[in-house]
Amino acid sequence: MGTFASNKLLCFGALARLARCTADKCVSFGAGLSIPDTKVIAYSHETNGTVLPLPGTVASCGGPNLTAIITADLCRVVLVVATSSSSETSGFRDWGIGGCVDYPTMQNGAGLGFASFGMNAGHNGSTGFDFFLDKPEVLNDFGYRSLHFEASVGKQVVEQYYASSSFKNYYAGCSTGGRQGFQNAHLYPSDFDGLLLGSPGVNWLRIVASKGILAHRIGWPDLDSPAYVRPEQWPAIVAEQIRQLDPLDGVADGIIDEPTRHRFDPQTLACGAGLLNETLCLTPQQVSSVRKAYEPVYDSDTHIVYPAFELGANTNVFSDNQQNGVAKLSYTILQDFWRGAVYNDSTWAPENFSTADMDFALAENPGQVNAWDTDLSEFHERGGKVISYHGRSDETVTSALSEWFYSGVQSNTNLTLEETQAFYRLFFIPGMHHCGGGPGAWSIGNAQRYPYDQTLLDSSYNALLALVDWVEKNRTPETLIGTKYQDDVVGGEVVSQRGKKYPPYVSILLYMLIVT
Ligand SMILES: *[C@@H]1O[C@H](CO)[C@@H](O)[C@H](O)[C@H]1NC(C)=O
Ligand SMILES: *[C@@H]1O[C@H](CO)[C@@H](O)[C@H](O)[C@H]1NC(C)=O
Ligand SMILES: *[C@@H]1O[C@H](CO)[C@@H](O)[C@H](O)[C@H]1NC(C)=O
Ligand SMILES: *[C@@H]1O[C@H](CO)[C@@H](O)[C@H](O)[C@H]1NC(C)=O
Ligand SMILES: *[C@@H]1O[C@H](CO)[C@@H](O)[C@H](O)[C@H]1NC(C)=O
Ligand SMILES: *[C@@H]1O[C@H](CO)[C@@H](O)[C@H](O)[C@H]1NC(C)=O
Ligand SMILES: *[C@@H]1O[C@H](CO)[C@@H](O)[C@H](O)[C@H]1NC(C)=O
């Protein structure tokens, strides 16, 4: 299961042309660094190849023995930034519910010669709720604020280091990092020149709520209910979706290229229909459950508020919700966030989760986390560029959400499709899971994945470099070529490559709802 990862990269272009970092310069720089509301915790000169221990990293961020590989001679600085009188965000150091520093992305950035920053979004850890319980300022950091502080402090660090302020600023993030990037473009449009935003978790509360709502649609938590679809049935259901729908894109490769363009009728898997044997076939109640599982999410007024689960995607969200026969939601972020941030109740559990719980959270919108800020007009007017990408087999944030967001930006900025495409490109990656992985040719220099393939450091294959070329050379990224590696080891043996120019996404969405 994917978790929401907070991934921040702030890169300042053109650094390679500037003074190289020497040990002496690093030490004198660290000693003299002075930024308001910011404490310098440590600084050191590190050489390429050093394996750096990261003590103090919490378990959900890969601790306690996490290390990072230094990929260039660099000056490392650890900062703590006070974002309010009662919260702070640690920079450069510490990678869920997005409280982990994204070292992989930072390492990639440093390897390319960028000054790279990462931060913990104001709390340490990707699981748990204590860090949010009764801490509204920590929630604000996570919700919308920490990235802005990272940008602002990062710029000051670089200006002091290079005694210059003419840099291009980039950000790369995935999942909640993608959400924070879009939110940042709306709230603080002058922070960055280019944004690389993967599998963005915009509409965050509904994404998380959908896990509870979908679980209920298939009979959970009553594992004995006749409507409950058993874990062992799900692989057969998905296999049948792929068998029926994959060939419609012209090539039978086990990947449904455009799942939002298809419908799947679970009646074909009913007992007696002949496709599944008596162990796996669906009873009439289960047919109804599966049908509901692939409907969009509605609010209490029956408005569609979140798109349907992806056909062909991994179904752990349906199948993993029990432990030894006891109902337990596998997507722990739901319980954590509603405990810590929504209900301020450390005993709340999601077994009775309903639309009302979702709507309540939306009304509260703790930390303004549920960003759906599609007015990017100021960012656009300043010349900002966005490359966004989303896997078409994303089991965590359904990729249709990116279609919705794209349409929203277009209508909210009053731009034509051509004008929108001139600053914001959305690439769908067939067969990619949440942020990376999956059967498709998914490697495009994804945020959160270290290392890059050093032989494909080119804007045709690497989305960060494509973004830099767009911002600095006005070279529009018409296509991105994805690479599939043997055993998904990036940089290893190339199995296949695929490049696709995606049709523009315009504003008509059609849903066929089959009510049973
Ligand atoms: C996060 O962890 C770092 C050490 O890794 C520590 O310095 C900092 O105080 C922690 N922050 C919080 C909010 O616990
Ligand atoms: C971390 O390293 C210590 C010391 O080598 C070791 O005892 C411990 O088992 C390690 N912990 C994990 C989770 O790997
Ligand atoms: C770091 O070292 C590796 C291995 O020697 C080398 O391939 C790479 O180019 C070096 N990186 C930089 C930025 O010098
Ligand atoms: C039903 O089909 C599954 C998957 O093909 C198979 O593993 C299982 O043994 C079959 N069960 C029976 C009773 O035929
Ligand atoms: C959260 O719960 C704690 C303990 O029950 C209580 O002291 C605190 O006032 C509550 N905070 C809010 C914002 O309701
Ligand atoms: C769910 O609702 C039932 C019936 O009202 C109640 O007995 C149970 O305690 C509730 N469970 C949770 C986790 O709130
Ligand atoms: C878009 O047009 C509407 C209606 O004319 C207007 O109210 C709105 O302010 C415009 N938005 C922008 C970002 O220009």
Among the options 102, 191, 394, 469, which is catalytic? 394
Among residues of the chain, what percentage have pLDDT more than 70? Answer: 91
Report pLDDT digits (tens) over 440-455. 999 999 998 989 999 9
Q: Convert the pLDDT of each residue in 63-114 to its tens digit.
A: 999 998 887 788 888 889 998 877 666 544 322 577 888 888 888 888 887 8
Q: What is residue 222's predicted lDDT score, i.e. its pLDDT? A: 97
The answer to whether the beta carbons of residues 294 and 309 sit under 8 Å apart is yes
Query: Is pLDDT of 461 > 80?
Result: yes
Asked which of 72-81, 124-133, 403-412, 413-422 is least confident by mean pLDDT, the reply is: 72-81
What does the alpha-carbon distance between residue 94 and residue 463 come to, in Å, rounded to a whole number? 25
Residue nearest to atom 1 of ligand 6 (CA): 352
Q: Is the CB of 49 under 6 A from ligand 3?
A: yes
pLDDT at 210 over 70: yes
Lowest-confidence pick of 90-104, 135-149, 320-334, 497-511? 497-511
pLDDT interval class at 13 (50, 70, 90): very low
Tell which wins on pLDDT, 512 or 35: 35
Q: Is the pLDDT of residue 427 over 90?
A: yes
From the CB of 187, is ligand 4 less than 6 Å away?
no
The number of the ligand 7 atom at minimal distance from the alpha carbon of 414 is: 1
The CB of 349 under 6 Å from ligand 6? The reply is yes
**DSSP-assigned letter for residue 307:** P
Residue 101 vs residue 480, higher pLDDT: 480
Local confidence band at 511 (pLDDT 50, 70, 90 cut-offs): very low
Average pLDDT over residues 258-262: 92
User: Is the confidence at residue 14, as pLDDT, over 50?
Assistant: no
Residue 147: which H helix or E strand, with range?
A: helix 146-162
Query: Which of 266, 270, 288 has the alpha carbon at shortest distance from 278?
Result: 270
Q: How far apart are CA 141 and CA 145, in angstroms?
A: 4
Q: How far is the CA of 502 from the centre of ligand 7 (A)?
A: 28
Is residue 474's pLDDT more than 90? yes
- Which of 23-32, 35-44, 96-105, 200-209 is the least confident region? 96-105
Question: For the packed helices 176-187 and 146-162, what is the interaxial angle rounded to 10 degrees?
Answer: 80
Q: Please report the atom of ligand 7 found closest to the CA of residue 413.
A: 13
Ligand nearest to the CA of 364: 5
Give yes or no for residue 510 having a pLDDT over 90.
no
Mean pLDDT of 406-412: 93
Active site annotation includes 175:
yes
* Alpha carbons 118 and 473: distance in angstroms, whole number: 26
Ligand 2 center from residue 109 Cα (angstroms): 29
Rounded to whole angstroms, the Cα distance separating 258 from 249 reads 8
Q: Which atom of ligand 3 is nearest to the CA of 454?
A: 7
Of the pLDDT bands very low, low, confident and very high (cuts 50, 70, 90), residue 115 is confident
User: In this structure, how many other beta carbons lie within 10 angstroms of the beta carbon of residue 430?
Assistant: 25
Asked if the model's pLDDT at residue 313 lies above 90, the reply is yes
224 counts as catalytic: no
Ligand 5 centre from 460 Cα, in Å? 52
Output the CA 439–ligand 7 centroid distance in Å: 42
Mutate to test the pocket of ligand 3, among 52, 71, 114 (most ligand atoms within 8 A of CB): 71
Ligand 4 atom 8: the closest Cα is on which residue?
279
What is the structure's pLDDT at 16?
A: 34
86 an active-site residue? no
Q: Does the pLDDT at position 212 exceed 60?
A: yes
Between β-strands 322-323 and 326-327, what pairing exists: parallel, antiparallel or unpaired? antiparallel
470-485 mean pLDDT: 94
Report the percent of the chain where pLDDT is more than 90: 70
Kindly tell me the burial class for residue 279, based on how many C-beta atoms sit within 10 Å of its own C-beta (0-12, 13-18, 19 or more): exposed
Please state the atom number of ligand 2 nearest to the C-alpha of residue 59.
13
- Would you say residue 359 has pLDDT above 50? yes
For ligand 3, is residue 72 a contact (CB within 6 Å)? yes
pLDDT reported for residue 502: 59
Ligand nearest to the CA of 69: 3
Q: Which of 225, 138, 215, 177 is nearest to 8 (CA)?
A: 177
Binned at pLDDT 50, 70 and 90, residue 122 comes out as confident
Atom of ligand 1 nearest to the CA of 54: 5
